[in-house]
Amino acid sequence: MLSDSDAAVTIAVRDLAEAQNFYEGVLGLKKVETHPDGLIMYQAGNSKVAVYQSEFAGTNKATTATWTVASGIEDLASDLKAKGVEFEHYEIPGATMEGDLHVGFGMKSAWFKDPDGNILNISTPAPA
């Protein structure tokens, strides 16, 4: 049914201009569409990330979006930190911290928040 259809991450934000600065300027996503209602669509690899204005922005207490990074996650985390991104540090049983990266289960991951508090993640691929 849906297994042959593309999916997009949809992220609620309070301020579209601030979100645009973050998603384009900090994360480096490329805007591909702007809808008349203000929704902004970004390209991320073969996926899409949509941001839209909502009074419910930042209310999710779990990961909203994950970008899988095949290589160079340490450099990416360093680049994001240089742009002002503050990483979250969680207690994850079976994982250790290497700088801002959680390491465990054959993966490296880092979590951070956008200006509205939406939790975002970068991670190496899970082992097969």
- pTM listed for this prediction: 0.93
Name residues whose C-beta falls within 8 Å of residue 6's C-beta, 6 or more positions apart in sequence: 46, 47, 48
CATH of range 8-56; options 3.10.180.10, 3.40.50.300, 3.40.50.720, 3.40.190.10? 3.10.180.10
Which tens digits make up the pLDDT trace of 19-49? 999 999 999 999 999 999 999 999 999 999 9
- In the CATH scheme, what architecture does the domain 63-128 have? Roll (3.10)
- Sketch the domain layout of the chain as residue ranges: 8-56, 63-128
Q: What is the DSSP letter of 82?
A: H
Question: Residue written as tokens 């998603």?
Answer: 23
**Percent of the chain at pLDDT above 70?**
100
Predicted confidence pLDDT, tens digits, the chain (128 residues): 788 888 899 999 999 999 999 999 999 999 999 999 999 999 999 999 999 999 999 999 999 999 999 999 999 999 999 999 999 999 999 999 999 999 999 999 999 999 999 999 999 998 87
Judge whether 120 and 111 are in contact, CB under 8 Å.
yes
